[in-house]
Structure 1
Amino acid sequence: MSLTDENADEANPYLRDPPTEFEPVDDLSADEAEREVDLLREAIREHDRRYYVEGDPIIADRTYDVLFSRLQDLEDAFDCTHPDSPTRSVGGEPLEAFETVEHVAPMLSIDQSGEAEDVREFADRVHREVGDVEYVCEPKFDGVSMAFVYEDGSLERAVTRGDGREGDDVTRNARTIGSVPQQLHGDYPDFLAVRGEVYMPRDAFQEHNRKRIERGEEPFANPRNATAGTIRQLDPSIVAERPLEVFYFDVLEASDLEDSHSAELERFPEWGLRVTEHVEFADDIEEAIDYRDRMLEARDDLGYEIDGTVIKVDDRDAREELGRTARHDRYAFAYKFPARAEVTPIVDVAVQVGRTGRLTPVALLEPVDVGGVTVSRASLHNPEEIAEKNVNVGDTVRVQRAGDVIPYVEEVVEKNSEGHYELPEHCPVCGSAVERDGPMAFCTGGLACDAQLRRSIEYYASDDGLDLEGLGEKSVRQLVDAGLLESVADLYELEREALTELEGWGETSAENLLAELGESREPPLADFCSALGIPHVGPTTARELAHEFGTFEAFRETAEDDPERLEGVDDVGETVAQQLHDFFTSEANAEAVDDILEYVSPQESALETGGDELEGLTFVFTGSLEGVTRGEAQETVEAHGANATGSVSGNTDYLVVGESPGQTKRDDAADNDVPIVDEDEFRELLGEYGIDLE
């Protein structure tokens, strides 16, 4: 009996006004548990259908959660899980890799154009080959196309489009998506393969990006990228946490085919397959073109991204007669929208907390094309600039890219809000008070703020710090989230057993990291000063300070008690001197540094002079070098009479470029006609002067 029958309430007590209190699991027999599990699965599938397909739930979210939790408890207690159970939506054990499988029918692309004349030519060809036809018009979803295969109503597999002939089996990930039914409803075909589009709703995408930005992670460029990156995660539990949805829009193969595409779409909701409400008939191609123009006007009001419309011949026999090319079906045509260019609304503002605690407001945008690149976020710089531009959430703005790299809000084109955006009074990550320093705003939480803590550890381990291999952004976040790191000093308390219990860590990777940490206990003074992440103190300035003071104790004492003396050091002016003083006199920072010094003994710095072979030459370095750190390379040239500076100018003689170099320095070198040399050329240059780079 279906849950849509008249006696459904009596057939299943968990459909309407279900109980939320249950007998203890331990008091149930196996038969009683099995009966309750069957009823709960059946009811939850129906609630999923009503929520995702009909948009008309009949119970509250909280009640649904109680039923779902009860089902999980029973399945765990009586070991009666099943691949089709709704509880599979919470994920499972991570996969090592996806299996490549062949599609039951080709998943071809669609011929497309943004020009109306090309659409009319498509219609003319259709008319020549099959005569007059009706068209079905649908939005062209901007997501990830997949095939969903059902056998006897049960989800057998879900496969990415891949090359159209075969794709990746992502069934376990697909089961975590609420709008993917594990079991079809109603009078469904014995075999059914349908094509659907997995997507991330726009509101959910912006919220997901906001959280990524606040955690210090790189946001996704657009909902499609977010969807593609999610559906191919090897860990289904990650997919379960992300807000994906599905629209179904075509039958690839079925044991019982309908006569028309429109008839198929009508049956989809009966089977539990969600379809868009924006489907229309068109008697001729001009109506289809008009449909596209209306959808272009409505696109900003939809809850999901579309990049055009799809025009399909409705009659299935006509479709078969039209056939297909090697690349696309000849019965359909996509009429594309023009890309959004430069002008777009601000949907929200996220606040990113940097390593130094600085708060940077980031505008979250409706994705827009700027210079051929899709942009979904833009810098708002600081509170003063926000006030000057009078920009706020809801305003339509013009976006530009600084140096063709960093997007920023240039101006407000249409003011749709009152006033301008105000930074929060408390840090969005740790809740600490926010203090203003001129045009800047800073979180006062210091290393007690998770955002600053993670970035401080990442920087400490980076090339500009102690260059600890195996401690990148992902691994640091994992160690912090696991509770193994609450300070930089905790790095030296890590144990092999705790590391190997984490996902992705084996004996070798754990031992390698511990060996790296062991070797970092006596770092060069310049590397240690840089690794602390003091504002405005990078490797170049840290090296100058190390040369000037020789020991960490002397450097720290001067910064605390006599900051004016620091101004006599190259690369250190009044602002940097004050930053150094503020850093070391901060109670939280002083405590953090003291904790690190319990494990680390920075070495005294003594610049060994090897001669004046390079006297008069100025070098700038960018990127990472092999075999030596950038700091060591800089010390080498300085030891032989050259200057090593942090920025390129007309006085620079060579820019040395390693792996992953910065674009700005290369651009400055080009503007100033400064020779650019790679590491091999740099070593050859030193060799000409009889200098070895060790």
Structure 2
Amino acid sequence: MTNAPSGSSTRYADPDENPYVEAPPTDFAPVAELSPDAAAEQADLLRAAIREHDYRYYVEADPIIPDETYDALFARLRDLEDAFDLSTEHSPTRRVGGEPLDELDTVEHLAPMRSIDNATDADAVCEFDERVRRGVADAGLDPDAVAYVCEPKFDGLSVELVYEDGAYVRAATRGDGIEGDDVTEQVRTIRSVPERLRGDPPARLAVRGEVYMPRDAFAAYNEKLMERGEEPFANPRNAAAGTLRQLDPSVVAERPLDIFVFDVLAWEADGGERGGAQMDRPATHREEFDAFDRFGLRRTDRVDVVDDIEAAIDYRDRILADRDDLNYAVDGVVLSVNDRAAREALGSTSRAPRWAFAYKFPPRTATTTVEGVTVQVGRTGRLTPVAELDPVEVGGVTVSRATLHNPAEIEALGINVGDHVRIYRAGDVIPYVPEVVEKRAEGTYDFPETCPVCGAPVERDGPLAFCTGGLGCPAQIDRAIEHWARRDALDIDGLGPERVEQLREAGLVESLPDLYDLTVGDLTDLEGWGETSAENLIAELDATRDPPLDAFLAGLGIPDVGATTARALATHFGDLDALLDADEDALREVDDIGPEVADSIRTFFDREENRAAIAELRERGVDPEPVDTGPDDGQADALAGLTFVFTGSLSVTRSEAQVHVEAHGASATSSVSGNTDYLVAGENPGHSKRADADAEGVPVLDEAAFADLLADHDVEWPPADPE
């Protein structure tokens, strides 16, 4: 019998005490009329109510208020937090995305996240059952009492979630099973991940979950990407994995990720500060699923407990039959011993537990003929070859196109038009070609040497190929405009992907400089634009006509030049013309710029299309300001000769810390080397940088020690807010 999630009497907000749970009012008094105490009280009620609504919508799939009412509550909370400085670490408003990260730090898991042995045939599953029962008997337990928990094997990205005293504190990818990438802020944006647990969880709880993109949301998101001329994700798993490793949490927040929790990694009931009697760890895996329900953690409703391996095989066959109806990608089922004492007796190898096994589904393949190859140009300039196929049915779906990934893949396959190939439906969505079954054409497909959209030369970067047209290639204009408007570039509100697409379709913007020819009248003629929104965007654009040089450079989308490198270039050269005239040797004098990055920068500025776009921007009055030489207090060289690396969370962003020390003459780099003077480690620092510092003998400072060091040089910390 399949067990659905059980309900819970524990709620985030009691409707009898919180007016924003059931039929909440949205006719709020103006924020300015509230006292600080009244604002704080209303914010607390709104946070609790929004947590309850998030749980009802994203976990139970049973919302009790309309979307527009939820949006009004959320907007009110954000307004109160902004007006009265009431934001808290676990506020629902933090889900919309935090500051962009410089890199993903490495953290150690509370318990190993091991892989699972697997096979696609029933005989191997039966052998697993025999090993389990022998092991249980050898441990003095009853082999006839063995029961298995059966659940789908999700095809997503495995993560560890850590809660302390019921509060969300960390998330990390599986990595090598011992350490993984810190994706705390990225996972925080997933609405089904609670900021605070319900009920009475243990003092510390670490659970394993699978982050995935629902299939319907994946299809809709890919459609948007293709409409914008971007490369679609190959499958939901790639979409989830690529999204979770985005350095900007606000990008993650825009993508439709979800999660299923399926295992306990650590359960520590002592040492917490929570009141009440914390429950002991359940004795069975099935009871752990019930605990997930009580805590508000989302888990699958396709969990079953069976008494013998034949029933487990039947379960797998049912999931296989239902896989096309599930809204998430699965590639098999997981069978695990239910009793925790039996699990501990069976133990684990260095790689996998002896008490679990993945019974995988067979891959979906078919063979057909390549009738042609189309080369698509993505918004980053990347060229992706697509095989046009003689239509063939693969797993119940007619397939007429398959990705060939990149020119290196074409060369490795030796594929050409006319060859007979095998098609594999990866992730049930975008098929690809794993092999040539029969070579029917001579040679290998000749990848184009010029861009099929703009005719610019194509350059290879390892296995990939890119159009060199840059700002002059129509296929890349959307991406160029969106990049220009990013927060870490020109920071133009109101110029997101949908707006850019609308302006492009209307023929108002054919190049980046065209943005600065827009008028209020142009915009109000478009659907969805009012006088106010049009005036706001024009004002935003006008405010960027004298941008800081580093923001201007970051906005151009120069390959290998992000915000940090842009700032280093601006500080070194001082003005745009000096940079435009700099040769590779001069570029390599800038900290952290090596031969490849110098070549990339010089190549970008040497291209006629990019030079023309920059000249047209300047003709329209968009001319970056020269960089200030340093502080006005005589401390421009106070830290000269010192090199810092920052890791972890500080009282300001790492980017602001880098700007601050550079403004006083120091260097700030992204990696520890023998030239590094100090590694400054905030909260949750990266393991790899600490290890590099130990290996190189680099002193490690916490923030207090760092502040003392700066004080010794008459440099304040933290930096004062700009006026």
Shift of 1:214: 2.3
Which secondary structure state, in structure 2, belongs to the residue aligned with residue 310 of structure 1?
A: strand
Q: Who is 2:294 aligned against?
A: 270
Query: Which of 52, 55, 59 does residue 53 from structure 1 map onto?
Result: 59
Q: C-alpha offsets along residues 213-262 of structure 1, whole Å, 9 cap, x if unaligned?
A: 22222222111111111111111101101110000001111123101000
State which structure, 1 or 2, has the greater radius of gyration over its C-alpha atoms: 1
Q: C-alpha offsets along residues 399-440 of structure 1, whole Å, 9 cap, x if unaligned?
A: 5678656999999x9xxxxxxxxxxxxxxxxxxxxxxxxxxx
Q: Who is 2:148 aligned against?
A: 135
CA contact 2:477–2:510 (8 Å) conserved in 1:
no
Shift of 1:330: 0.9
Q: Who is 1:170 aligned against?
A: 183
Residue 339 of structure 2 corresponds to residue 339 of structure 1:
no
Q: Who is 2:309 aligned against?
A: 285
Q: Who is 2:327 aligned against?
A: 303
Q: Who is 1:156 aligned against?
A: 169
State the one-letter code of the partner of 2:398.
T
Residue 111 of structure 2 corresponds to residue 87 of structure 1:
no
Report the CA distance shift for 1:455/1:35 in structure 2 as closer, same or farther (over 3 A). farther
Q: Who is 2:48 aligned against?
A: 42
State the alpha-carbon separation in 1 of the partners of residues 466 and 104 from structure 2. Answer: 37
**Aligned residue pairs, count:** 462
Task: Map 1:138-537 to 2 at 5 A.
Answer: 138-254=151-267, 255=269, 256-342=280-366, 396-397=398-399, 459=456, 477-479=479-481, 482=484, 486-487=510-511, 497=549, 499-500=552-553, 502=555, 504=563, 506-507=566-567, 509=569
The structure, 1 or 2, with the larger RCO (C-alpha pairs under 8 Å, 6+ apart) is 2
Report the CA distance shift for 1:74/1:407 in structure 2 as closer, same or farther (over 3 A). farther
Report the CA distance shift for 1:352/1:398 in structure 2 as closer, same or farther (over 3 A). closer
Q: Who is 2:35 aligned against?
A: 29
State the alpha-carbon separation in 1 of the partners of residues 258 and 182 from structure 2. Answer: 18
CA contact 2:387–2:401 (8 Å) conserved in 1:
no
Shift of 1:490: 6.6
Q: Percent identity?
A: 51
State the alpha-carbon separation in 1 of the partners of residues 74 and 418 from structure 2. Answer: 45
CA contact 2:114–2:351 (8 Å) conserved in 1:
yes
Report the CA distance shift for 1:495/1:469 in structure 2 as closer, same or farther (over 3 A). farther
Shift of 1:82: 1.3
CA contact 1:185–1:270 (8 Å) conserved in 2:
yes
State the one-letter code of the partner of 2:566.
G
Which secondary structure state, in structure 1, belongs to the residue aligned with residue 291 of structure 2?
A: helix
TM-score by length of 1: 0.58
Larger deviation: 394-403 or 461-470?
461-470
Shift of 1:98: 2.0
State the one-letter code of the partner of 2:166.
G
Q: C-alpha offsets along residues 21-42 of structure 1, whole Å, 9 cap, x if unaligned?
A: 1111111111111111111111
Q: C-alpha offsets along residues 297-348 of structure 1, whole Å, 9 cap, x if unaligned?
A: 111110010010000100010000000000011110000111121489xxxx
Which secondary structure state, in structure 1, belongs to the residue aligned with residue 131 of structure 2?
A: helix
Q: Who is 1:108 aligned against?
A: 114
Larger deviation: 224-233 or 4-13?
4-13
Q: Who is 1:120 aligned against?
A: 126
State the one-letter code of the partner of 1:263.
E
Report the CA distance shift for 1:44/1:489 in structure 2 as closer, same or farther (over 3 A). closer
CA contact 1:459–1:531 (8 Å) conserved in 2:
no
CA contact 1:400–1:407 (8 Å) conserved in 2:
no
CA contact 2:471–2:609 (8 Å) conserved in 1:
no
State the alpha-carbon separation in 1 of the partners of residues 265 and 100 from structure 2. Answer: 29
CA contact 1:468–1:517 (8 Å) conserved in 2:
no
Considering only aligned residues, what root-mean-square deviation do their CA atoms show, in Å? 4.7
CA contact 2:366–2:392 (8 Å) conserved in 1:
no
State the alpha-carbon separation in 1 of the partners of residues 288 and 376 from structure 2. Answer: 50
State the one-letter code of the partner of 2:337.
V
State the one-letter code of the partner of 2:552.
L
Which secondary structure state, in structure 2, belongs to the residue aligned with residue 506 of structure 1?
A: helix
State the alpha-carbon separation in 2 of the partners of residues 168 and 315 from structure 1. Answer: 31
State the alpha-carbon separation in 2 of the partners of residues 112 and 238 from structure 1. Answer: 35
Shift of 1:101: 1.4
State the alpha-carbon separation in 2 of the partners of residues 161 and 114 from structure 1. Answer: 24
Report the CA distance shift for 1:499/1:328 in structure 2 as closer, same or farther (over 3 A). same
Shift of 1:481: 5.0
Shift of 1:15: 0.5
Which secondary structure state, in structure 2, belongs to the residue aligned with residue 249 of structure 1?
A: strand
Q: Who is 1:558 aligned against?
A: none
Shift of 1:496: 6.2
CA contact 1:201–1:223 (8 Å) conserved in 2:
yes
CA contact 1:343–1:397 (8 Å) conserved in 2:
no
Report the CA distance shift for 1:58/1:509 in structure 2 as closer, same or farther (over 3 A). same
Which secondary structure state, in structure 2, belongs to the residue aligned with residue 482 of structure 1?
A: helix
Q: C-alpha offsets along residues 182-221 of structure 1, whole Å, 9 cap, x if unaligned?
A: 0001122222111100001111112222222222222221
Which secondary structure state, in structure 1, belongs to the residue aligned with residue 16 of structure 2?
A: helix
Give the unaligned 5+ runs of structure 1. Answer: 345-350, 363-376, 414-453, 521-526, 534-591, 600-694
State the alpha-carbon separation in 2 of the partners of residues 296 and 408 from structure 1. Answer: 34
Which secondary structure state, in structure 2, belongs to the residue aligned with residue 274 of structure 1?
A: coil
Report the CA distance shift for 1:44/1:495 in structure 2 as closer, same or farther (over 3 A). closer
Q: Who is 2:597 aligned against?
A: none
Q: Who is 1:424 aligned against?
A: none
Give the unaligned 5+ runs of structure 2. Answer: 1-7, 137-142, 270-279, 369-373, 405-409, 424-450, 491-508, 517-544, 556-561, 584-603, 621-723
State the one-letter code of the partner of 2:324.
D
CA contact 2:470–2:476 (8 Å) conserved in 1:
no
Shift of 1:100: 1.3
State the one-letter code of the partner of 2:259.
V
Which secondary structure state, in structure 2, belongs to the residue aligned with residue 8 of structure 1?
A: coil
Report the CA distance shift for 1:474/1:78 in structure 2 as closer, same or farther (over 3 A). farther
State the alpha-carbon separation in 2 of the partners of residues 313 and 278 from structure 1. Answer: 17
CA contact 1:461–1:531 (8 Å) conserved in 2:
no
State the one-letter code of the partner of 1:227.
A
State the alpha-carbon separation in 1 of the partners of residues 11 and 184 from structure 2. Answer: 31
